[in-house]
């Protein structure tokens, strides 16, 4: 082994799958991914754990901001700002997101945390997420309405471990979306 430095493996909320009684996901709830992407992330987490290397499997939601001008958050915001109909998912899906700058800050902070084993950690905002909630949020922030009526399932990260490690973001999805909106005006 060339080094024994801890590993920071960037995983995904997709390792949880959708079949849970509660929208709040603890790190122990993972292991039922429903997509090939989620399955690949889960396999990576298991490889890290089996290696007996110290490190973190960091479970992130989708990312927005940082100059990216595509994706659900950006597309919804721009469409409502321009008075256009947004392109939104045609069927219910599990969704969550955070600003890439908040994710990067949490990842940088994790690099300073002493760790002796491999452990997963959720990183996200303390909000309850869904596409439906995002639509309502941007309607409030922009003062524009849309006729979208699909109800999407809720998702929330249990951030107990992130808070204990001192790496949980301090802002909310609303604050991050408001900042993004101000940046584009």
Q: Is it the case that residue 18 has pLDDT exceeding 90? A: no
pTM of the model: 0.93
Predicted confidence at residue 20, as pLDDT, reads 66
Q: Which of 120-124, 174-178, 180-184 has the lowest mean pLDDT?
A: 180-184
Residues 111, 112, 113, 117: is their CA dihedral positive or negative? positive
Task: Identify whether 2 is part of a domain.
Answer: no
The arithmetic mean of pLDDT across residues 129-139, rounded, is: 96
44 lies in some domain = yes
125, part of any domain: yes
Average pLDDT estimate for 4-24: 89
Q: What's the total number of domains in the chain?
A: 1
% of the chain residues with pLDDT over 70:
98
d(CA 6, CA 11): 15
Look at residue 1 and tell me whether its pLDDT is greater than 70: no
Measured CA distances, 139 to 35, 86, 158, 166, 185 (Å): 30, 11, 27, 33, 16
Residue 22, pLDDT score? 82
* Mean predicted confidence (pLDDT) in 9-26: 89
The CATH number of residue 169's host domain is: 3.40.50.720
Neighbours of 181 (CB within 10 A): 15
Residue 36 lies in a domain: yes
Q: Which domain holds residue 140?
A: 7-184
Q: What is the mean pLDDT of residues 95-110?
A: 97
SS3 assignment for the chain: CCCCCCEEEEEEHHHHCCCCCCCEECHHHCCCCCCHHHHHHHHHHHHHHHHCCCEEEEEECEEECCCCCCCHHHHHHHHHHCCCCCCCCCCCCCCCEEEHHHHHHHHHHHCCCCCCCEEEEECCCCCCECHHHHHHHHHHHHCCCCCCCCCCCCEEECCHHHHHHCCCCCCCHHHHHHHHHHHHC
pLDDT in tens, 56-68: 999 999 999 999 9
Whole-number pLDDT of residue 46: 96
């Amino acid at each position: 082994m060339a080094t024994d430095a801890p590993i920071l493996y960037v995983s995904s909320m997709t390792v949880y799958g959708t079949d849970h009684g509660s929208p709040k996901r603890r790190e122990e709830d993972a292991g039922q991914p429903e997509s090939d992407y989620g399955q690949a992330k889960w396999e990576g987490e298991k490889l890290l754990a089996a290696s007996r290397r110290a490190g973190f499997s960091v479970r992130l939601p989708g990312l927005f901001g940082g100059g990216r001008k595509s994706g659900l958050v950006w597309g919804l915001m721009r469409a409502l700002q321009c008075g256009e109909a947004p392109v939104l998912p045609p069927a219910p899906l599990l969704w969550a997101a955070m600003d890439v700058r908040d994710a990067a800050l949490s990842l940088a902070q994790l690099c300073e945390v002493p760790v002796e084993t491999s452990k997963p950690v959720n990183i996200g905002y303390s909000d309850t997420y869904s596409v439906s909630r995002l639509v309502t949020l941007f309607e409030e922030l922009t003062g524009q309405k849309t006729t979208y009526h699909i109800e999407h399932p809720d998702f929330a990260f249990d951030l107990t471990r992130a808070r204990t490690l001192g790496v949980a973001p301090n802002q909310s999805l609303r604050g991050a979306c408001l900042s993004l909106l101000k940046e584009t005006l």
